[in-house]
Structures are given as C-alpha cells and as structure tokens.
C-alpha cells in the first residue's frame, strides 16, 4: 500500500502473465494458472484480463453461469457468438455484457484475419443467482467520454448505460493534457481505477498503462494531468473480495 492506507497501487508489471502464442494476457487478479492470495478480486470485481489475440484466433465455445461478464475493446474487433443465438462484432467504443445467470456458453474470436485485437474482459459477481441469461451491447462515442467519466454500466441502465445485476457502476473516460474530472462516490464506497492506455494522475497518484488503483472510502476520485489516457472507474460496495455465498 501507499502511505495513505486507503489507496493501494496495482502496477502493470506485477500482474499475472499468460503467454500462449495466439494469446498474450495480463491478469490483474488471480485467474486460471495465476494465483496470488493477496489479489483475489476487489469488492464485487473478480477479473480484469488484458488480452491480445492473434488474427483469426480466439476462445472457443465455453460455459459460464452466475457471472456478469463484459468486454471492452481497445483495438481491433472481437467476434462474439453464444448459445442464445447472439452473433455480434465488438469494436472500440462498444461495451458488451453477458449476464450468464442460469447458464450460457459463448465464444470470442478475433474478427480479423490480418490484425490483432486488444481488449479487456472483466467479471463482476452478481447480486442474484439464477437470473435469465441476457446479452447487451452498446456503443459509447468518444465524444461522450472526452474529459469526463461517462457511465457505461449501472444497476438500472441509467443514461443509456448497460444494466448489471449488482450494486456496481462502471465509468469510462478519455483524458489528455488539461482535461480533468471529479467523480463523487460517497465516503462509504470502494473504487477501482484501471488505466487501459496512456497515463494519468488519480487522487495524486501517477498511473500508467495497465496500472490499477484500489481506493477505500476516499469520497471522490480526481482525474488530471493525463497523457492520451483511457480509463475505467468502478464504483463498488465497501467489502474487500467477492463473496460467493
């Protein structure tokens, strides 16, 4: 932790590493063959995988249940298929959400045969088990994220955002130069910030691409001094790790 015990930095080079030839992945939290007992998720945030997939390759059909899973594409295009009959292509600016509920199988492939795809896959623990599976996808233009935190995932789908079965709000923002923003959370909330690209200061802490920041009860988040930054901010319930009870 930093000198302020309410703020904990998760540096990009401390993450788990998986190299499979066709897939290069970095795991913020314990996942698959990477296990760190101090990194088992944060509040209801279970997984942040930073994935780069080779042209024409991807994750074959595999099942999930009782998990809220969303993908955020940074470069390239991701092709999705699932057992609900959904077929789609996810591109930068899109947010895709699967509420797995009672059970769903899906595949995610690089849509291009010549260029790589770079995306984040993020898992959130739901507040209710056994919901009807659902697929959502929405495009959020860069103009709506420029110099501000745009809500992209909320419990009730506020402001055209995607709905999630949990008391979680996810914001996306683009910042450069003098652009700055403040996000009020309330002193009884936790937060996590992930820098998808570029660099930025969050509550006075300089973060670079792939870095993350855990914040406990700080009241608000302050974003400033950015260099071509794209960030995701998670407004979370105040508990340490996901509860599977």
Convert the pLDDT of each residue in 174-204 to its tens digit: 999 999 999 999 889 999 999 999 999 999 9
Considering its fold, how many domains does the chain have in total? 1
List 208's β-bridge partners, or say none.
199
Question: What percent of the chain is predicted at pLDDT more than 90?
Answer: 96
In-domain check, residue 242 = no
Q: pTM of whole model > 0.75?
A: yes
Within a domain: 123:
yes
CATH number for the domain that contains residue 112: 2.60.120.10
User: Does residue 120 sit within a domain?
Assistant: yes
Please, which pLDDT band fits residue 106 given cuts at 50, 70 and 90?
A: very high
Q: Is the model's pLDDT at 133 over the cut of 80?
A: yes
Q: Which has the closest alpha carbon to 166: 71, 221, 101, 81?
A: 101
pLDDT of 244: 83
* Residue 219 CB burial class (10 angstroms; 0-12, 13-18, ≥19): middle
Q: Can you give the pLDDT at residue 5?
A: 59
Residue 185 in any domain: the answer is yes
Domain holding 189, by residue range, is 7-236
Q: What is the pLDDT of residue 3?
A: 40
Q: Does some domain include residue 241?
A: no
Structural domain includes residue 45: yes
Q: For residue 245, is it within any domain?
A: no
pLDDT band at 1 (very low <50, low <70, confident <90, very high): very low
Average pLDDT over every residue of 52-61: 97
How far apart CA 96 and CA 139 sit, in angstroms, is 9
CA Rg value for the chain = 17
Nearest to 124 by CA among 237, 44, 41: 44
Residue 221, in any domain of the structure = yes
Q: pLDDT, tens digit, for every residue of 139-148?
A: 999 999 999 9
For the cut 90, the answer to whether the pLDDT of residue 2 exceeds it is no
């Amino acid at each position: 932790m930093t000198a302020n015990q309410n703020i904990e930095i998760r540096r990009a080079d401390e993450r788990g590493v998986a190299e499979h030839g066709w897939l290069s992945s970095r795991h913020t939290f314990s996942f698959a063959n990477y296990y760190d007992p101090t990194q088992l998720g944060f509040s209801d945030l279970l997984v942040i995988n930073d994935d780069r997939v080779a042209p024409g390759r991807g994750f074959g059909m595999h099942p999930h249940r009782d998990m809220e899973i969303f993908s955020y594409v940074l470069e390239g295009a991701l092709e999705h298929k699932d057992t609900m009959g959904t077929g789609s292509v996810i591109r930068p600016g899109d947010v895709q959400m699967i509420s797995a509920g009672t059970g769903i199988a899906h595949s995610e492939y690089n849509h291009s045969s010549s260029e790589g795809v770079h995306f984040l896959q993020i898992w959130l623990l739901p507040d209710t088990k056994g919901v009807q599976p659902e697929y959502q996808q929405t495009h959020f233009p860069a103009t709506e994220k420029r110099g501000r935190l745009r809500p992209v995932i909320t419990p009730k789908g506020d402001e055209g955002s995607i709905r999630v079965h949990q008391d979680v709000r996810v914001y996306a923002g683009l910042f450069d130069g003098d652009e700055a923003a403040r996000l009020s959370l309330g002193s009884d909330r936790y937060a996590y910030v992930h820098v998808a690209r570029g660099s930025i200061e969050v509550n006075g802490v300089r973060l670079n691409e792939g870095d993350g920041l855990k914040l406990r009860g700080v009241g608000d988040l302050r974003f400033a001094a950015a260099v071509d930054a794209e960030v995701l901010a998670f407004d979370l319930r105040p508990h340490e790790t996901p509860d599977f009870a």
